[in-house]
Structure 1
Amino acid sequence: MRFDTNAVHAGQEPDPQTGAVNVPVYLTSTFVQSAPGVNRGFDYARTNHPTRAALERSLTSLEGGAGALAYSSGLGALTNLVMHLPREARILAGEDLYGGSYRLFEHL
């Protein structure tokens, strides 16, 4: 399969309920729960979201990786990355980076 075709379809399965071949953009932030903490894989958009999950599956497929994570902001992604570095790790960053990133690094 050509890359451009794969980029459109990678990591996506047709929707079993509607037959749609592309994942819809879900605009909801909350999802039905049958009881507190009992859901169908999604409860609140900040923790997991079907549109973001589809993007992560697509990126995983395109890159041939073991998994992918998508974030709503660069600072969110950077914070997660920093939290997983070993304590003795060193970070090299330019002086002209985003102010939020600069302040994050300043407090490490």
Structure 2
Amino acid sequence: MKRKTQLIHGGIVGDEQTGAVSVPIYQVSTYKQERAGKHTGYEYSRTGNPTRHALEELIKEIEGGYAGFAFGSGMAATTAVFMLFNSGDHVLITDDVYGGTYR
């Protein structure tokens, strides 16, 4: 697919649960579990949900990457990236990086 088509039709197509042709926005916080620690893929929306998963798959596909990641805030994204470094590593950034990071 061309890039414009991928933006519309890339990633995860449809919703198996409802038959919707695009993934709906799931506005729930928790998902039913058979028992503690045994779930069908999602347990709590902060750790993952079908809507965010579809967005991450689309990002991965469009960018030709290994994985896509979506965050609820700039600081959450910044924290995840900085967790990749070790104590003593040097990081160079510009002053137009996300505001909370620069401050």
**What interval of TM-score do these two structures reach, taking the shorter chain for normalisation?**
0.7 to 0.9
Residue 65 to residue 39, structure 1, CA distance change in 2 (3 Å): same
Structure 2 match to 1:51 = 51
Please give the root-mean-square deviation of Cα atoms over the aligned residues, in Å.
1.8
Structure 2: give runs of 5+ residues left out of the alignment.
none
1:15 matched residue in structure 2: 15
Q: Which amino acid aligns with 1:14?
A: G
Letter in 1 for 2:32: V
Partner of 1:69: 69
Q: Size of the alignment, in residue pairs?
A: 102
Aligned to 1:92: 92
Q: What TM-score comes out, normalization by structure 2 length?
A: 0.86
Following TM superposition, the consecutive aligned residue runs of length 4 or more in structure 1 with deviations greater than 4 angstroms are 94-97
The alpha-carbon deviation at position 23 of structure 1 amounts to 0.6
- Separation in structure 2 between the aligned mates of residue 61 and residue 89 of structure 1, nearest angstrom: 31
Q: What residue number does 2:4 align with? A: 4
Against the structure 1 CA distance between its residues 39 and 91, is the aligned structure 2 distance closer, same or farther, given a 3 Å change threshold?
Answer: same
**Is contact 2:13–2:21 with CA below 8 Å preserved after alignment?**
yes
Identity %: 40
Residues 55-82 of structure 1 show CA distances to partners (whole Å, capped at 9, x for unaligned) of: 0000001011110111000100000110
Unaligned runs of 5+ in 1: 104-108
Alpha-carbon separation, structure 2, partners of 1:96 and 1:18: 43
TM-score under structure 1 length normalisation: 0.82
3-state SS of 2:61 partner: helix
Question: Please, which moves more after superposition, 41-50 or 10-19?
Answer: 10-19
